[in-house]
Structure 1
Amino acid sequence: MATRNFALNTEPHVAQVGDIALEFQPEVMGDDFMDAYAELREAQRGIGVDPDDLSGADPGQLRQVSRALRSFLAHLMLPESAELITRLDVVKGGETLGSFTDIEEAEAYAAAVEGGGARVRDALRLPDRVLVELLEWVIELYGGGERPPMSSSASAKASPQGGRPGTGASRSRGSTRTRGR
């Protein structure tokens, strides 16, 4: 009889971003990870952008993509870090007037500020490249290093044949050419 031990992570994963430590769950069950990832992809499609090519998106769409990405990351974080990455501040003249987790509430509050000029911004301001790096890191941590396929069309395609097809006769006297072997 063979015995094999499997280790479970018990300590949070930590992403150090400048002087801020973002803590992620030690382990995430596969279905929880896939559900969160599917939600991210669906949110991006709902915004009307191709999540794999954001070059044609306008600034408003990019902000929505960033919110969806922050929400995805929050699903995998410990509560304090999740609250920090999703918190929105309403600011005016460098002063924080209120903090929210819902974008609509934050925008409504900013619009109602007397004298105008209030705007909504992320409490934890991060460059987009850092958010993308965090996405790639958590995919590596919880998803085995590859982005999960979201449809059968996302499966890998057969590699193209190199060179030219041979003209010699097959020893089996039958056609053996098969693509992708």
Structure 2
Amino acid sequence: MATKTFSFNTDPHVATVNGMDLRFQAEVMGDEFMDAFGELRDAQKAAQGIDLEDLSTLDPAALRGAARGLRGFLARLMLAEDAERFTALDVVTKEGQVLSTHQDWDEAQQAADQVDGARAKWAMPMPDRILVALMEWVTELYGGGADARPTGSSSASARALPRGGKGGAARSRSKA
């Protein structure tokens, strides 16, 4: 009788961004990942048609919506504490004083609208290139990409073979 043992990853995946660790769930079940990915796709559909070559047609609200969708996708896959930090929005004055912190963009914007010159901004600002790189990384982790593997070392990993003896005496074709 053949027996095969399977186990779940138990250690969270960690992405270090500018010295700050963002912890992602050790395992994400298929439906959970696909639901989060579906929400991201919906946010990106709303931003379709943006032509960065012709900025006169740029709809900032659509672009912001796509960026919020990307943050939401990543946050759904993070551990709760890190997701809360990652999606926190500060309402700040012109001078940069934080008036309040919110988890919802519309709520933060409403609070900012009540104070002259205040605005809502991400408490953890992050360049879009980093957000996109994080999205690609978690898609590989949870979507079954080529690099999907448990974090840390594995006792089942093959060890490198020791190099023994001398190198071969054959001539390389590239040197011929």
Looking at structure 2, the residues matched to 54 and 106 of structure 1 have their Cα atoms a distance apart, in angstroms, of: 28
Cα distance per residue 1:70-105 (max 9 Å; x no partner):
111111010111101111101111111100111111
Letter in 1 for 2:69: A
Match of 2:105 in 1: 103
Q: 1:140 to 1:4 in 2, by over 3 A?
A: same
Give the % identical residues: 53
- Where 1:81 maps in the other structure, the secondary structure is helix
Match of 2:13 in 1: 13
**Contact 2:89-2:120 at 8 Å conserved across structures:** yes
**Contact 2:92-2:120 at 8 Å conserved across structures:** yes
- Where 1:98 maps in the other structure, the secondary structure is strand
Letter in 1 for 2:43: A
Letter in 1 for 2:26: P
Deviation, structure 1 residue 39 = 1.2
- 1:155-174 matches, cutoff 5 A: none
TM-score (norm 1): 0.73
Deviation, structure 1 residue 64 = 1.2
- Where 1:145 maps in the other structure, the secondary structure is coil
- Where 2:84 maps in the other structure, the secondary structure is helix
**Contact 2:47-2:66 at 8 Å conserved across structures:** no
Letter in 1 for 2:110: A
Match of 2:71 in 1: 70
Cα distance per residue 1:30-76 (max 9 Å; x no partner):
1110011011111222x2426xx774653332211111111111110
Looking at structure 1, the residues matched to 52 and 30 of structure 2 have their Cα atoms a distance apart, in angstroms, of: 31
- Where 2:92 maps in the other structure, the secondary structure is strand
Looking at structure 1, the residues matched to 97 and 6 of structure 2 have their Cα atoms a distance apart, in angstroms, of: 50
Match of 2:3 in 1: 3
Q: 1:9 to 1:54 in 2, by over 3 A?
A: farther
- Where 2:72 maps in the other structure, the secondary structure is helix
Q: 1:54 to 1:137 in 2, by over 3 A?
A: farther
Deviation, structure 1 residue 3 = 1.4
Letter in 1 for 2:100: G
Q: RMSD of the TM alignment (CA)?
A: 1.7
Structure 2: runs of 5 or more not aligned = 147-176
